[in-house]
Amino acid sequence: MADFVLAIDQGTTSSRAIVFDGEYRIRGVGQQEFPQHFPRSGWVEHDPEDLWRTVVETMRRALGDASLAASDIAGIGITNQRETVVVWDRATGRAIHNAIVWQDRRTADICARLKAEGAEPLITERTGLIADSYFSATKAAWILDHVEGARARAERGELAFGTVDTWLLWRLTGGKVHATDATNASRTMLCNIDSMEWDEDLLKLLRVPRAMLPEIKDCIADYGVTEPSLFGVPVPIRGIAGDQQAATVGQACFAPGMLKSTYGTGCFALLNTGTERVASTNRLLTTVAYRLKGRTNYALEGSIFIAGAAVQWLRDGLHIIERAEQSGAFAAEADPEQAVYLVPAFTGLGAPWWRPEARGALYGLTRNTGPREIARAALESVCFQTRDLLEAMRQDWAAQKGAASAETVLRVDGGMVASDWTLQRLADILNSPVDRPVVLETTALGAAWLAGHGAGVWPDQEGFAKSWHLNRRFQPSMNEEARRKAIAGWDLAVQRTIWSGE
């Protein structure tokens, strides 16, 4: 059997498909951006048909780029933007509303009410999450409440709910498979992550009918085959994981204590805690890292809503750079005497603050502040936020496992890590090493490994982990006084931002 695997990487701003060979080398790529919709302040939507169309087109492009036919592919793996919600008509396969994106804050008031009513401890106990509009459940309920007749239709089983993986799987299989994997299910605020089943108490609390939910499967499972009309032959789908969990797999973070951070539209750090849940006292999330052969591995996760999106803002909002890759060079040329801080709370602040009402702010501006200082502040904001996450993780991990277990090297991936300047500043702010792998497409690679192993053509975890290779380790070089001063300035900027939102 051929050992080629096709990974679908459906992200927040673009869809990609990548063909890997049995040596984990990229053989073909297709990528396409799609429009973002912002109906109101704090609202973010996608047209589900854009997600579907760009996925199919990029799959075809990747196959063409690799000079392969669909019959050469042993299996397909899917990884996706998490928490984004689609609700569709089972009979027609058409969505009844635009997809509500993970960044969307329209249900913040619902989550505030749940907290006020004392419901958050139950949510955290069952799901490892907090009551926040970031997650899927309140988004689904909002659609049912605002599309005429939708709630009654959902209760009759006429409508289907899914995160993006489920939506794509449904369309790829011609409506034959309505399923999700354990990682995506764990982000809905509806799944009991101990039993890995939909929780009836939470379904009632959050008003989501059981009849519209997909089946929960392991990350490696039989997810059916593609409709033959799409690519000429049916292709098996053998793996699914949410994008951050797929990156954890792609970085081969299989051992407890291993840590990765992905820098895409947002930034997401995951610390593998093994088969035991670690409860956070620092407002981090306890989530599913992956589930294989019926065995669940957990992680502590910290989520930053704005990372690469800050660079996009420099390019598309302020027009101070023409290309995203210019940001590092701009930052390197900034005036070192200016202490400018950007708190990029464009859609609120994520972990460990969880302040959805906060909004972005720039501090420390002078008459001489220009594009380069603002670019540096945007990149440094990602570094400072990562430090806040990792400090919280280390405290939680050390509290349960002991101080010696809290020290680990950070493995990084995502579009931003191509910038040497950014990673050096990250190592300086963290005061610890940062490792960049040879293969930067770790999210897609993780999905590919799930599918390849599921198809029986790629090795097990141990064999795959041996393939991870270091491109460069960034060692901290900033003196302690400068580091302390920079962090103090950031902490003050965050507190001012939070105060201004109250």
Question: Which CATH number do you get for residue 348?
Answer: 3.30.420.40
Range of the domain at 368: 308-386+480-501
According to the model, what pLDDT value does residue 441 have? 86
Long-range contact pairs involving 464-472 (C-beta distance under 8 Å, separation at least 24):
464/252, 465/252, 465/254, 467/24, 467/252, 468/251, 468/252, 468/437, 469/437, 469/438, 469/439, 470/435, 470/436, 470/437, 470/438, 471/436, 471/437, 471/438, 472/420, 472/423, 472/435, 472/436
With respect to residue 357, please indicate whether it lies within any of the assigned structural domains: yes
Q: Is 324 inside any structural domain?
A: yes
- Mean confidence (pLDDT) of the chain: 91
Tally the domains of the chain.
1
Tokens standing for residue 307: 């990372």
Tens digit of pLDDT for each residue in 490-499?
999 998 988 7
Evaluate if residue 1 carries a pLDDT over 70. Answer: no
Tell me whether residue 332 is in a domain. Answer: yes
For residue 212, the one-letter residue type is M
Contacts of 419 (CB under 8 A, 6+ apart): 325, 327, 328, 379
pLDDT for 192-225, tens place per residue?
999 999 999 999 999 999 999 999 999 999 999 9
Answer yes or no: is 198 within a domain. Answer: no
Q: Is there a domain that residue 65 lies in?
A: no
- pTM for this entry: 0.86
Place of tokens 């210019």: 326
- Residue 451 lies inside a defined structural domain of this protein: no
Identify whether 317 is part of a domain. Answer: yes
Residues 123-173 pLDDT 10s:
999 999 999 898 999 999 999 999 999 999 999 999 999 999 999 999 999
Q: Is residue 473 domain-resident?
A: no
